[in-house]
Amino acid sequence: MSHSTGLHLKIAEWMLEHKETVSAYDVSENFGLTVNQARAFMTVLEKDGAIKTHRGKNVPSHTSSGYGLRTLKVTAIDREKIASRKKNPSYTNYKYYPLKSTSDLTRAEKWELIINNSRRRKR
């Protein structure tokens, strides 16, 4: 999903124009996605800070799993936040903990890194 960052914005724009609650089935039909992919994109939309959403009712799923699919309505999109993301190419989820390659570290340095990270998580 992280490779398709522009697609969730297109889906949000479409949902905003639609002005009604939309299910994952609607998203999958209009964007050529599987229902699971559409559900994942809807989760991304809910968690995105630049997109305001409102949950609707649950729609029964076609499977016998007993779970329903939620509907979602996009009420607003903060275009300034999205524009600032596009201007800042270093915007990632790992902004505070950048990924480091461990291939050039010695064995002792790798163990030290592991121990330091385990201490940080225990706090």
Q: How far is CA 87 from CA 6, 31, 32, 90, 103, in A?
A: 14, 27, 29, 9, 31
The helix/strand/coil state of 44 is helix
Q: What does the domain layout of the chain look like in residue ranges? A: 2-96
Topology adopted by domain 2-96: Arc Repressor Mutant, subunit A (1.10.10)
The pLDDT assigned to 108 comes to: 92
pLDDT score of 114 more than 50? yes
Helix (H, G, I), strand (E, B) or coil at 104: coil
81 or 87, higher pLDDT: 81
Alpha-carbon span 22 to 44, nearest angstrom: 15
Average pLDDT over residues 8-18: 87
Question: What token pair was written down for 31?
Answer: 């964007």
Q: What is the mean pLDDT of residues 37-59?
A: 83
What is the mean predicted confidence (pLDDT) over 111-121?
77
Q: Per mean pLDDT, which range of 55-59, 65-69, 79-83 is the poorest?
A: 65-69
DSSP, res 61: P
pLDDT of residue 1: 41
